[in-house]
Amino acid sequence: MSRDLAEVSPGVWVATAAIWTSNTTVVVDDDGGALVIDPGITRTELDSLADAIHGRGWRVVAGLSTHPHWDHVLWALSLGDVPRFASPAAIAALASDVERCWAEASSVDPAHDRALFGALTPIGRLAGAPVGTEVPLGLPAPHHCHVVSHRAHAPGHVALVARGVLVAGDMLSDVEVPLLDVGPGRDAARAPADPLADYEQALDVLERAVAVHDVDVLVPGHGTVAVGRPAVRRRFEADRAYLRELRAASAGRPGRGQAPMADPRLADAWVAGEHAAQAAFLGARHG
């Protein structure tokens, strides 16, 4: 059974997984060559995505992992033996934590292929590049695909811009608040020096890309697609408001771990728990 694909802009298609409303984006060239971004969570989803792609007469020419979290570095042979791109920083981060990440992936679905897990090709133009660098993804990816680098949420996170669409990775969601990089497995000793500032800077970087490329569709890693410039703008406004309150709360009440917020995304118990954990992390650092 193939996954449902919805065309959100000409040549850009999105499939939403049953687990965590995770989004996979497929960018298709006029000749049918397809770039698959963050392909799915379960082995069944990966194989059914392949069925949907092949059923439309397309062929997978490349993959892209937006960041090194386990649910974004999966693959299946049914999708093809093609290069799967990620930033050099993301690949290095995954290599340093691969066994823990694989344990999480295989616990969710033991059918995943260990040999394909995190087998990524570095985007060479990003090696040593400053934060905010934007480069063409390059062949064999479809034409007019650019990646934008930043440090929010995970090391080496990239977003992709193609045909007026921003594929944002795990940012700008309507169901999740901004989730900071608090270290792999919440190991605070391995967290960046200022993950809150990294996130604020990343929003600046992505907002510039939206303006430069006339983006009017935004695909988050989890949640619903934002269609239209006002809807895209509201995603940025919501995340900036959350970060402002998180910064004020963590600075003013160190160690308390819970900031008083009205953000509707906090109604979800899992999101509220993640919020509490990162508020406590920031509070401890301020303390």
- The pLDDT, as a whole number, for residue 3 is 80
Average pLDDT score over residue span 137-161:
93
**257 pLDDT exceeds 60?**
no
Average pLDDT score over residue span 102-124:
97
Reported as a pLDDT band with limits 50, 70 and 90, residue 256 is very low
**260 pLDDT exceeds 80?**
no
**251 pLDDT exceeds 90?**
no
| pLDDT tens-digit series, residues 194-211 | 999 999 999 999 999 999
Average pLDDT score over residue span 145-155:
96
Instruction: Find the range with the poorest average confidence among 22-26, 83-87, 90-94, 182-186.
Output: 182-186
- The domains found in the chain, sorted by start residue, are 6-286 (3.60.15.10)
pTM: 0.94
**175 pLDDT exceeds 80?**
yes
- The pLDDT, as a whole number, for residue 259 is 44
Q: What percent of the chain has pLDDT over 90?
A: 85
Instruction: Classify 15 as helix, strand or coil.
Output: strand
Q: What angle do CA 198, 199, 205 make, to 5 degrees?
A: 90
Q: How far is 22 from 72, CA to CA, in rounded Å?
A: 10
Mean pLDDT of the chain: 93
| pLDDT tens-digit series, residues 163-173 | 999 999 999 99
Reported as a pLDDT band with limits 50, 70 and 90, residue 115 is very high
- Helices (DSSP H) in 21-130: which residue ranges? 43-55, 88-95, 98-108
- The pLDDT, as a whole number, for residue 17 is 87
User: Exposed (0-12), middle (13-18) or buried (19+): which is 275, by Cβ within 10 Å?
Assistant: buried
At 1, which amino acid appears? M
* Closest to 168 in 3D by CA, of 207, 137, 117, 123: 207
Average pLDDT score over residue span 139-144:
82
Average pLDDT score over residue span 237-251:
91
Beta sheet of 146-149, edge-to-edge order: 134-136, 146-149, 158-162, 165-167, 217-219, 226-227
Average pLDDT score over residue span 110-128:
96
**110 pLDDT exceeds 50?**
yes
- The pLDDT, as a whole number, for residue 254 is 42
For tokens 């953000």, name the residue.
Answer: 263
Average pLDDT score over residue span 40-66:
96
Beta sheet of 59-64, edge-to-edge order: 6-9, 12-16, 23-28, 33-37, 59-64, 84-86, 121-122
**63 pLDDT exceeds 70?**
yes
| C-alpha distances out from residue 199 to 218, 236, 240, Å | 18, 12, 9
- The pLDDT, as a whole number, for residue 23 is 97
* Closest to 41 in 3D by CA, of 244, 242, 227, 221: 221
**136 pLDDT exceeds 60?**
yes
* Closest to 281 in 3D by CA, of 249, 253, 243, 255: 255
For β-strands 121-122 and 84-86, DSSP reports them as parallel
